[in-house]
Structure 1
Amino acid sequence: MSVFRSRPALRWLVPSAAAVAVIGGGAAAGTIVASADPALPERTAAELLVDLQNADPDGLSGTVVQSSDLGLPGIAGLLGQAAGSGGGLTSLIAGSNTARVWYAGDEKVRLALLGTDGETDVIRNGSDVWVWNSSKNEGTHAKLPADKQDPKSLPTGVPSTPQEAADAALAAIDPSTKVATTGAAEVAGRDAYEMVLTPKDDTSLVGQVRLAVDAVEHIPLRVDVYAKNAVKPAVRVAFEQISFDVPDAEQFTFNPPPGAKVDEAGTVFAPHGAKPDAVKPEARQGADAASEPKVIGKGWTSILTAKLPETPDAVAADAAKAGAEESQMVQSFLNTMPKVSGEWGSGRLLSGALFTVLLTDDGRVFAGAVTPEALYAVA
């Protein structure tokens, strides 16, 4: 079974073109050797990329922990106030999430996001897809249509697995990336090689991405993303515990508990029998087409841009009409973003450890893992 067939909860690694680019010399991959630990044979970065490319375990299960500190205490505080307990989005900015994963082939995958008051599960078993919220005792059951049996069609949850986090980093490998190894590590009780990806472009806010690759099964056990000049990772996705035994079939069999409410959604991603691509891009016109997000550039310094349906002033005005509490929340959010201006116009800037967002007064938004100056230039 090819490693390049994406899994819904465990997405394996390295587009073949990226691996060829690195191994061919595009990113200086083959000159530094991972050794340091005599218990592990020497492996070059290029060899590790081939290992990642060919990784295809029959099954696994484990506990994944995702932690973040994006340097946005003001935003995290506001989200905490809005959410009450401060979970959900707040923990993605400054906090942690824990999930359990089970994998027994492309058609048997389960991801359980654990919370303080229950868990949310996404389960695929053949063509059946279940999304379950235990705290609400509610769920949705759907069928994958025959032409959408590719596992990548499945929804995924937060946190991502190390595989999914590494996938995004490895997709950025091109001549703008330096690839090296730093020796051996131990993650979740298993020996691993460490690989380091470093952007060469100074406009990128990413200092480096470190991948700990299992020495036997060749999948990433841990991914750390560092901001420039940082000594601690801003984002970590790692297995806390992992087993490569194939999980029992019962892990993928979902039986709703008594009193549960389960909606039958028909076929996933094809409501009322319509195909997702029934509306062709050229048929989209007017404001809808203009507001669709676009990506400028590529790799580490790509920038996402879009036209918002409302300007920041209009959003604040609508919130004021809705009530004092909502108005205060919107205004507090805007106040966390200092005012900026230039030849491009004026607006507000949100700066984190790994990303920058520019919200212009005329309703445009620009975002990327780049410096503010890079956004100003595009704006």
Structure 2
Amino acid sequence: MRWAPAVVIPAAIAAAAIVTPLAAGAADLPVKSPADVLRLVAASDTRSFSGTVEQSSELGLPSLPSTSSGSQDASAADMLELALADHTAKVWVDGPTQVRVQVLDRLAERDAIRNGSDLWLYQSSGKKVSHATLPAHDEAAPTPDATSLTPSQLAKRFLDAVDPTTSVTLGDSVSVAGRDAYDLVLTPKADETLVGHVSIAVDGKTGIPLKVAITARGASAPAFEAGFTQFSDQKPDDSVFSFTPPKGATVDEQKLPTGGKPAHATGTHPRPTVTGEGWATVVALPAGSAPAAVADDPLFAQLTQPVDGGRALSSSLISVLITSDGRVLAGSVPVSALQAAANAAGQ
């Protein structure tokens, strides 16, 4: 929870009740309703694909430092930069157990690879390599975190939580990476949320989400988007999932207990409370959830501002409040809504 600001799209966001009639498709796409397009996504059986993804972010947050004073700060800054900054990544997928995401940095690269039971994380800068071995044939084991950059994973966060707090419509059909796609638009009904609408371009042939764009309330351009600029539904060559640490690299072997969970995940964690509903949901962790040392961290100070009752991160899509007693509240709502929730819980 120390780096809760890295969560760009909260899991609490809900998506979708069908409210519109049939919408016309493009010349090369059959006419479908919003419900038809949702079923197209759900029924997609394309297990193999590859392509190039571009991510862009305009959340109104301060620029992250290029270097940090300590290893923890550097790790946190790396996570935030991966989630919030602009990136180009190459993606290869062949079923749930063969995944590779290659993030292309300036004169460097970062790779997250799952090849069967092997998990690899590699940063060419400094030649840093981490490796873990998963139980054999465990498709439920986690794939590399960097796959959250793909439009499919981003879209899943919205489409997995279908409820009546959102209207779903179809915009004009679009072309993404040279492929005809339906434009599935999710619009919150609640006025309390920061999110104006979410646009998901769904490939008319495979049902795979090709692009996700999230626009803040009252804005004309997306605050965050990730989409394919090149896409192929052909099976990638097996060689792209093979990884051998480069000469001179230091390999950090990670121990994973049964079930594929990291060793540090076996402890006791604070239980969150949830208030509100749908897009206006606020998730809160109890007092003491944020370590006292956070207040002295330079990165924390750079990303947050003092407010009544604590410090807050405020972006165009999500807010995070850390109170003076160490509670953590987050949601796609203004900071004032988090303050109100914190005050109500303290009464």
Task: Tell me which interval the TM-score lies in, with the shorter structure as reference length.
Answer: 0.7 to 0.9
- Which residue of 1 is the match for residue 317 of structure 2? 354
Q: Does the alignment pair 1:299 with 2:269? A: no
2: distance between equivalents of 1:331 and 1:58? Answer: 40
2: distance between equivalents of 1:270 and 1:149? Answer: 10
Q: TM-score, normalised by structure 1?
A: 0.75
2: distance between equivalents of 1:274 and 1:359? Answer: 26
For 1:300, the aligned partner's letter is W
How many residues are aligned here? 322
For 1:333, the aligned partner's letter is Q
In the alignment, which of 312, 333, 340 is matched to residue 377 of structure 1?
A: 340
Q: CA deviation at 1:275?
A: 8.3
Q: Does the alignment pair 1:263 with 2:252? A: yes
For 2:95, the aligned partner's letter is G
2: distance between equivalents of 1:221 and 1:272? Answer: 29
1: distance between equivalents of 2:191 and 2:141? Answer: 33
Distance 1:234 1:152, change over 3 A: farther
1: distance between equivalents of 2:300 and 2:127? Answer: 36
2: distance between equivalents of 1:208 and 1:126? Answer: 37
For 2:152, the aligned partner's letter is Q
Higher relative contact order at CA 8 Å, sep ≥6: structure 1 or structure 2?
A: 2
For 1:339, the aligned partner's letter is V
Query: Counterparts of 1:1-379 in structure 2 under 5 Å?
Result: 27-29=17-19, 31-35=21-25, 37-72=26-61, 75-76=62-63, 79-80=64-65, 82=67, 89-90=80-81, 92-93=83-84, 95-146=85-136, 149-157=138-146, 160-266=149-255, 268-270=256-258, 284=268, 291-306=270-285, 307-308=287-288, 316=295, 319=296, 329=298, 333=302, 337-340=305-308, 346-379=309-342
What is the RMSD computed on CA atoms of the aligned residues? 3.2
2: distance between equivalents of 1:274 and 1:111? Answer: 20
Q: Comparing 269-278 with 215-224, which one deviates more in the overlay?
A: 269-278
Q: Deviations over 1:90-133 (max 9, x none)?
A: 4644x401211101122211111221242221211221222222
Q: Deviations over 1:114-158 (max 9, x none)?
A: 212422212112212222222222322322124x81345223117
Q: CA deviation at 1:296?
A: 3.4
Kept after mapping to 2: 8 A contact 1:65/1:159: no
Kept after mapping to 2: 8 A contact 1:198/1:207: yes
Kept after mapping to 2: 8 A contact 1:68/1:236: yes
Paired-residue identity, %: 39
| Higher normalized helix content (fraction of residues) | 1
For the pair shown, which has the larger CA radius of gyration, 1 or 2?
1
2: distance between equivalents of 1:239 and 1:269? Answer: 35
Instruction: List gaps (5 residues or longer) in structure 2.
Output: 1-13, 343-347
Kept after mapping to 1: 8 A contact 2:114/2:144: no
Q: CA deviation at 1:265?
A: 3.1
Distance 1:83 1:239, change over 3 A: farther
Q: CA deviation at 1:68?
A: 0.7
2: distance between equivalents of 1:242 and 1:359? Answer: 41
Kept after mapping to 2: 8 A contact 1:311/1:361: no
Q: Deviations over 1:176-201 (max 9, x none)?
A: 11000012101111111101001111
Kept after mapping to 2: 8 A contact 1:80/1:90: no
Q: TM-score, normalised by structure 2?
A: 0.81
Kept after mapping to 1: 8 A contact 2:195/2:332: yes
Distance 1:129 1:81, change over 3 A: closer
For 2:150, the aligned partner's letter is T
Distance 1:150 1:301, change over 3 A: farther
Kept after mapping to 1: 8 A contact 2:131/2:251: yes
Distance 1:205 1:144, change over 3 A: same
Distance 1:59 1:272, change over 3 A: closer
Distance 1:240 1:203, change over 3 A: same
Instruction: List gaps (5 residues or longer) in structure 1.
Output: 1-17, 320-325, 341-345
